[in-house]
Chain A
Amino acid sequence: MLSEAFVSVLSLRRADYNAQFLAARRAAPELDEAVFKTFLSTSVEPLVNAVAAVDKAALVEVVDVAYGVGLELLAQRLVGPRASGSALDSGFQQLFPALAGFIARAPAVLLPRLCNALQQLSSVPGARPAQWSRALSGLASGAENVEQLLSLGQVLAWLSGLAHYRSGALLLCRSLPEGLVANALGVPAAELQASLSRLEHDPWFVPSAPGLGFRVIGNVGSFRGFGGPFLAPPRVARKGQQLFVVSGDDSWLLTLDAFGCTFHRAAREELAGASIDIERDGVNVDSTSVSALGERLPLIDTGPLTSAVGNQGTLLFTTAHSYTVTVVALQASP
């Protein structure tokens, strides 16, 4: 049963909405009317109710945008029963109502962007859309306007696993209110500047846990048959500070830090001049242990090493009996 507020807008804009639906169905004939109705009642309704509670004047515009966005998402099977994940549905049901005050101010900007962000977070292996949603809804009250909310979303996306946005997000941290950034990073406001300075130089620094030090981060990637990217046993390579993984004819640029790791397809030309070596002195790795910075860590033996590379902050290696790349943080312990 739809709320009165939602029904009133749907009735008011009935002709337009019907035309939009028919036009969308023409482009995507599989668009199902019943599924769309369900989407409206389960996913759009919570947002409409939340907006109605904060700003009734914005209701028509919000429904206009949510209706169009919903059609696009449903036609592309990104929401509803045929979607491969539930991040966007959850976003509509939980995150967007929490941001109702902002959405009422700029629905045409915020709704598409938030949907795109959720879609990106849910499509990148290892990224954590639920964490992003929780953090954004929890910290949104500290944002003074829509622009700050969007910047906060970008910082949180980095912290939720999109490592390739690290440098851009750190720049945004310098422009956002200190209290907001400190909360996002989980540090006291007094320590914020020091934490930001360290983040800019140390990819493995975690502001809320500064004492982690030299450690094995874990394995990234896996055999394609198990949902990973690799068809053949991977090998790693390095070009300056950039780290690459090669598997058969495919290659990827790896961006990784304490918050996540993302793979980006690389052309073979990008690997021209790449080397297989460890830049930092005193780093040694074999099938059973890795040592650096005066410490030695045990490893689970997965066969002889097949490749190992390291830049100033990270060591990557592959072994003969594994389709994964092991990541080690070359961070001095405090």
Chain B
Amino acid sequence: MAIKGLFTRLSSAPTNPGKPAAARAFDVADLYRGPVSERQAAVDPQGLPLDEKLRQAYFWIVNTAIISPHYDIEYNDAPPAAFKLGDSKSQLTLPTAQSYSSFVLLPLLTFATRGKCLFIGGPGRGKTASAILMGVLAGYSVRDVKRAMQHGQPQMTIADLLGNPLPSDLVNAKNMDDIRIAWRKWLGLRVKIVDEYNRIPTRTQSALLTVMGDNYAELLDHIYECPESAWYFTANDDQGGGTYQVIEALRDRIDVVVQALAFNSRFLHELLLRVEENARPEELVPRQVIFSESEIDRLGEEIRAVELPPEVRRRLEFFSSQFEFCELAAHQFEYKTKDTVRLSGVDWLTVTGQDTGRDRLKDLGCQTKNGLSVRALMTLIYYSKAMAYFRGSPHVGLEDVRQVLPFVLHDKLTPDPDAPFFEAPGNAALRADRIGWLRRMFDDSAAEYDRLNLDREDPVARLSEQFQLGLNGLGESDVRSRLARIETLIAELSRGKKLYGHLYDDLLVLKYLHQRYTNYLRWVATQ
């Protein structure tokens, strides 16, 4: 029997209250609504919008299940009160709008987007418990979720992970098709949990990568197609301290990294209650916040439908353009990237040591050893939409991007600890604080975007928009005029200016446009 009572009760108040409906109507059915929840159908699951249900799930987790009094995803609708504390003048702000705990919210957004979330942090901080809760939200019993959880260990084989051929078939089979495979049950779950994934041997990690990346498992030429799933990984130490180094491709497929923050000793009474009452929150998840498979499908569709406005997208483009460029990596303009240096094996310090022309303190690109992958950017867009959706907004705000960005890029952007930025006064702590560093970079990027007045004066964007309208019917003189405009703009950009990442991307775009117009001009000339 499902445990009843207050522990599983959800607030009947909307989690994101808006303006009340204008029309006033009294429904006699309201007589039977009130403080006592009905045992069978307290909430009509069809009637509750999914974003509201997602918020109900979040607030149930933070209020009841997980002791996480860390509101590190801060939103403000008015200037927040801020206090400077300690010798280091650490800033404590009191957000003025609804703010969230990343340790709960990011896994929940991962659940909604069917992404891949890595929990990091010391032992006993609730990483596995949180992952189990997500499994229960998908409708599985605690027992099933726990049994399906993969525990990384040095002896873990591919068979442990994926399954075994049936022994009788191995003896009797005349060909590979005759061998039946006993696939592991966890492969069919819509929430997959891999505990201590950095203790899995490298070869087994590769098999895991196939399941993660391509959503199928392969054994003896047999294929098992897995359902779309949300993935949760845990690691006590994400910096190579596990038994095995995690292969880079596997790390790269993890969408968000969430740190389990330290327990606040003021909440010891909560632990005491749990001990005394033998309470296990994962066994008390209210039925109203459990999502069916079709609801999770619908969640994904609704999240994808959230609009990303052009002005937000443009700032994201500007931010992402900062990092890949490396002026001294190559002679050929297109190859002036950090990836060129990485592929060549040339010592990083040797390259950065020659970089003398730019303000390395100001240039955001100097703070990282790599650029952003396409996968990282797609993940960032999807999670930004999920964040906006969670907050009940039909479009992504800049703050939504700012809040999810550090968790998405946590393992995607590698800081260069020798960069002058980290030597600057007050910045040393950012070597360890990856979240703070990434958020700071985004803020600096936004400030630079404002300084350059790119919202109003962005000639490259205008040229791109002009090109997007199409070439059909464009006359030779128009094309020549546009080519001239491109060349003029390149000349302007090159005049007396240092080369930075965003300029590099702009110049490559201008070259691209120039080439497309040149090809078109050749075609027009033959007509």
Contact = CB atoms under 8 A, between A and B. Distances in A.
Nearest to B278: A22
A56 to B, nearest CB: 19
B81 interface: no
Interface stretch (A114-122, A176-184, A195-203, A289-297): A114-122
Question: Which of A27, A65, A150, A171 has its CB near the most chain B CB atoms (within 10 A)?
Answer: A27
Given A23-B6, A23-B284, A26-B273, A165 B39 contact: no
B3 A78 contact: no
B7 interface: yes
B36 to A, nearest CB: 4
B154 interface: no
A112 B39 contact: yes
A20 B5 contact: yes
Contacts of A255: 26
Contacts of B39: 65, 68, 107-109, 111-112
A72 B37 contact: yes
Contact of A27 (B9, B22, B29): B9
Nearest to A19: B3
Contact of B28 (A108, A165, A270): A165
B274 to A, nearest CB: 8
B38 interface: yes
A214 interface: no
B426 interface: no
**Main SS class of interface, A:** helix
A27 B64 contact: yes
A54 interface: no
Contacts of A37: none
Nearest to A108: B39
Given A108-B40, A253-B24, A23 B7 contact: yes
Interface string B243-273: 0000000000000000000000000000001
B277 interface: yes
A105 interface: no
A157 to B, nearest CB: 5
B484 interface: no
A321 B87 CA distance: 64
Interface of A: 16, 19-29, 64-65, 68-69, 71-73, 75-76, 78, 107-109, 111-117, 119-120, 150, 153-154, 157-158, 162, 164-165, 167-169, 171-172, 253, 255, 264, 266-267, 269-270
A115 B36 contact: yes
Interface residues of B, number: 34
30 contacts: A21-B5, A22-B278, A23-B277, A24-B5, A24-B7, A26-B273, A26-B274, A27-B6, A27-B9, A27-B64, A28-B6, A64-B1, A107-B39, A108-B38, A109-B39, A112-B32, A112-B37, A112-B38, A113-B32, A113-B38, A115-B36, A116-B31, A116-B36, A150-B32, A157-B28, A165-B26, A171-B28, A253-B24, A255-B26, A267-B20
Nearest to A162: B31
Contacts of B273: 26, 29
Nearest to B276: A22
B27 interface: yes
Interface in B4-63: 4-9, 20, 22, 24, 26-40
Contacts of B40: 108-109
B34 A115 contact: yes
A154 B32 CA distance: 9
A72 B35 contact: yes
A76 B9 CA distance: 12
A27 B38 contact: no
A164 B31 contact: no
A264 B4 CA distance: 33
Contacts of B277: 22-23, 25-26
Contacts of B32: 112-114, 116-117, 150, 153-154
Nearest to A67: B4
B279 A78 contact: no
Contacts of A78: 35
A310 to B, nearest CB: 21
A2 to B, nearest CB: 21
A270 B1 contact: no
A314 B9 CA distance: 43
Contacts of A111: 36, 39
Interface centre among B37, B38, B40, B284 (most CB of A within 10 A): B38
Contact of A154 (B20, B31, B64, B284): B31
Contacts of A167: 26
A269 to B, nearest CB: 8
Given A109-B40, A112-B36, A116-B32, 11 more contacts: A23-B3, A27-B6, A64-B1, A72-B9, A109-B38, A116-B35, A154-B28, A162-B31, A165-B28, A253-B24, A269-B22
Contacts of A73: 35-36
Contact of B4 (A28, A68, A113, A115): A68
A232 B39 CA distance: 43
A164 B276 CA distance: 48
A26 B277 CA distance: 8
Q: Which 3 A-B pairs have the closest CB atoms?
A: A168-B28, A116-B34, A23-B7
A72 B6 contact: yes
Contacts of A120: 30-31, 34
A169 B29 CA distance: 9
A169 B27 CA distance: 9
A266 B1 CA distance: 43
A71 B5 contact: yes
B35 A16 contact: no
A111 B39 CA distance: 9
Contacts of A26: 7, 273-274, 277, 279
A171 B5 CA distance: 35
Contacts of A115: 34-36
A215 B194 CA distance: 77
B80 to A, nearest CB: 29
Contacts of A253: 24
A172 B27 CA distance: 12
A116 B28 contact: no
Contacts of A157: 28, 31
B28 A24 contact: no
Name the residue in B9, B32, B279 with the highest tally of chain A Cβ atoms < 10 Å from its Cβ: B32
A129 to B, nearest CB: 12
Nearest to B32: A113
Contacts of A64: 1, 4
Contacts of B284: 23
A147 to B, nearest CB: 12
Interface string B58-77: 00000010000000000000
A85 B491 CA distance: 83
Contacts of B8: 23
B6 A75 contact: yes
Contacts of A27: 5-7, 9, 64
Q: Quick one: which of B22, B31, B32 has the most chain A CB within 10 A?
A: B31
B5 A72 contact: yes
Nearest to A168: B28
B35 to A, nearest CB: 5
Contact of A23 (B28, B33, B279): B279
A78 B64 CA distance: 22
Contacts of B30: 120, 165
Given A25-B277, A108-B40, A119 B24 contact: no
B31 A72 contact: no
